[in-house]
């Protein structure tokens, strides 16, 4: 830490310099005049300690001149002046401390510098965290892949960053809707303000209004203290309402009023609280259909839809499956301090053939398990296990396959389900046993 001392008393200045240099981390320079100090500012000190009474320039004038050039440079004033108004004036202008010259000056200065270092360290830590956060949520690094569908997605996200327009994110479960919402927030002008995520499906119906808008003490039984709601917590930043289609119909009108008026009133309160928020919503349902069914208000739908962003399912992202798989392998290996493995050709084929009804979330689980099951330096096909939770027959209709390949997949599926019982499988599918045997022989030859 480079420290400048400015004091016209050579003895007192040398005493302070000696005392501070007891810490080998402090590099201390002593000046007897303001002019000498100003001429050396190009050395970029970390702290300047100035005397109020100097022979060429008064301390308050030196303070102003330094601040004009280096407004963020910390300054501590050391003075024989015990006038409180002088001290207050310096502190108002931004002095980090005001220390009176007496027998305790060196100890007080020592403590003041320690506090200053702690504050500087804390501020640097905060800045580093902000920078790391920005890197973490850089959407082109967070949303991993190179498919054409992702390039279209990036273009849409880029448009969302240039304004405060509401954003509605749709997509199947596990496609990463909250990841996209966070990427939009942390790459926008609101990145230094709160990001508040609310899963509508997880909030009990009776608590929704209090959860969203807060409540005053005594508003209802059990309201022992005032509570700040999610919208108020997000003020200045972004509120992300996940699974918006699950919002209680009676509460939809209150949400509409909040979005129109840009203000809330806590439950049991009368004070209007102004809001400055950006709204991002997400759902795996088709909100337009929910409106037609009468489950969602039409006026609220048009208020929140804003810029629509649809996330592609993993099965429509081509080679992104392998890119993501490699990313998850590296992440798992790093977190568990094990050597990263490669995917064998058979493992790659197996991943590319699978439909991933659970999307990216399912892929991560599959890869994490494969990393545990693998014995050598490669993840083999047998190390990869799927959860077989296909929601419907459309799980078979993925990829680019011939009718013969689809037929083979169906027969193999039912064979596995029936413990390789050929007769039972043929009966269920209403086909001949020879057809089943032909599929088995064909697969055996391929393997």
156-196: pLDDT as tens digits: 888 898 889 999 999 998 898 998 999 899 888 898 899 99
Residue 408 exposure: Cα atoms within 13 Å on the Cβ side:
14
- The predicted model gives 279-289 an average pLDDT of 93
- Under the banding of pLDDT at 50, 70 and 90, the label for residue 150 is confident
Matching residue, tokens 């509401």? 166
List every span in the chain annotated with CATH 3.40.50.2300: 2-131
Q: Which residues make up the CATH 3.40.50.300 domain(s) of the chain?
A: 140-310
Q: Is the pLDDT of residue 393 over 50?
A: no
- Can you tell me the distance from the alpha carbon of 328 to that of 198, in angstroms, rounded to the nearest whole number? 26
Residue-wise pLDDT for 92-122, tens only, equals: 888 888 888 888 888 899 888 888 888 877 7
Distance in angstroms (rounded) separating the CA atoms of residues 6 and 23: 19
Question: Using CA atoms, how far apart are residues 180 and 186, in angstroms rounded to an integer?
Answer: 10
Say if residues 241 and 252 touch (Cβ distance below 8 Å).
no
> Which regions of the chain carry the CATH code 1.10.10?
392-445
Distance (Å, rounded) from C-alpha 87 to C-alpha 97?
A: 9
Q: Which band of pLDDT confidence, cut at 50, 70 and 90, is reported for residue 239?
A: very high
Q: pTM of the predicted model, to two decimals?
A: 0.58
The H or E element spanning position 362 is helix 359-373
Whether CATH 1.10.8.60 fits 314-383: yes
Please, what is the average pLDDT of the chain? 86
pLDDT digits (tens, 9 = 90+) for 334-387: 999 888 899 999 999 999 989 898 899 999 999 999 999 998 889 999 999 886
Residue 433 to residues 328, 342, 423, 438, 440: CA-CA distances in angstroms? 42, 40, 6, 9, 11
Please, are residues 307 and 262 in contact by the beta-carbon 8 Å criterion? no
pLDDT (mean) for 226-250 = 92
CATH topology of domain 140-310: Rossmann fold (3.40.50)
396-443 pLDDT, tens digit each: 555 567 778 878 888 888 887 777 888 888 888 888 888 888 888 887
Structure tokens at 221: 């039984």
- In tens, the pLDDT along 247-262 reads 999 899 999 999 999 9
Residue 227 carries which DSSP code? B
CATH 1.10.8.60 spans which residues of the chain? 314-383
Cα 380 to Cα 350, 366, 367, distances in angstroms = 10, 13, 11
DSSP string covering 180-195: HHHHHHHTSTTTTS-E
Which CATH number is correct for 2-131, 3.40.50.2300, 3.40.50.620, 3.40.50.970, 3.40.50.300? 3.40.50.2300
For residue 391, the model assigns a pLDDT of 47
Q: Selecting from 1.10.10, 3.40.50, 1.10.3470, 2.40.360, what CATH number does the domain 392-445 have?
A: 1.10.10
């Amino acid at each position: 830490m480079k420290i400048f001392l400015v004091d016209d008393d050579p003895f007192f200045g040398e005493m302070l310099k000696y005392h501070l240099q007891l810490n080998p981390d402090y590099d201390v320079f002593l000046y007897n005049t303001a002019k000498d100090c100003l001429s050396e500012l190009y050395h970029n000190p970390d702290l300047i300690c100035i005397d109020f009474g100097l022979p060429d320039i008064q301390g308050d004038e030196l303070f102003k001149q330094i601040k004009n050039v280096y407004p963020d440079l910390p300054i501590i004033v050391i003075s024989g002046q015990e006038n409180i108004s002088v001290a207050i004036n310096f502190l108002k202008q931004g002095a980090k401390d005001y220390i009176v010259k007496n027998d305790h000056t060196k100890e007080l200065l020592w403590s003041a510098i320690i506090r200053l270092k702690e504050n500087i360290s804390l501020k640097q830590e905060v800045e580093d965290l902000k920078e790391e956060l920005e890197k973490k949520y850089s959407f082109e690094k967070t949303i991993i892949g190179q498919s054409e569908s992702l390039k279209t997605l990036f273009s849409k996200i880029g448009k969302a960053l240039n304004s405060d327009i509401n954003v509605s994110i749709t997509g199947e479960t596990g496609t990463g809707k909250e990841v996209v919402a966070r990427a939009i927030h942390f790459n926008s002008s609101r990145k230094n303000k709160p990001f508040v995520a609310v899963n509508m499906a997880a909030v009990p119906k009776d608590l929704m209004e209090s959860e969203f808008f807060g409540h005053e003490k005594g508003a209802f039984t059990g309201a022992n203290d005032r509570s700040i709601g999610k919208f108020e917590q997000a003020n200045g930043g972004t509120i992300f309402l996940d699974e918006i289609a699950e919002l209680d119909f009676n509460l939809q009108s209150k949400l509409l009023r909040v979005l129109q008026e840009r203000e809330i009133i806590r439950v049991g309160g009368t004070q209007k609280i102004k809001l400055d928020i950006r709204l991002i919503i997400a759902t795996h349902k088709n909100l337009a259909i929910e409106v037609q069914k009468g489950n969602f208000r039409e006026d609220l739908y048009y208020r929140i839809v804003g810029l629509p962003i649809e996330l592609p399912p993993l099965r429509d992202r081509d080679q992104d499956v392998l890119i993501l798989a490699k990313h998850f392998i590296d992440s798992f290996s790093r977190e568990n301090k094990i050597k990263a493995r490669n995917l064998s050709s058979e493992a790659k084929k197996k991943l590319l053939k699978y439909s991933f009804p659970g999307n990216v979330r399912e892929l991560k689980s599959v890869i994490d398990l494969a990393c545990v099951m693998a014995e050598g330096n490669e993840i083999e096909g047998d190390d990869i296990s799927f959860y077989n939770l296909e929601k419907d027959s459309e799980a078979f209709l993925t990829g680019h396959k011939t009718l013969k390949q689809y037929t083979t997949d169906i027969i193999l599926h039912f064979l596995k389900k029936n413990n390789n019982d050929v007769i039972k499988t043929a009966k269920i599918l209403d086909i001949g046993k020879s057809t089943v045997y032909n599929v088995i022989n064909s697969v055996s030859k391929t393997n």
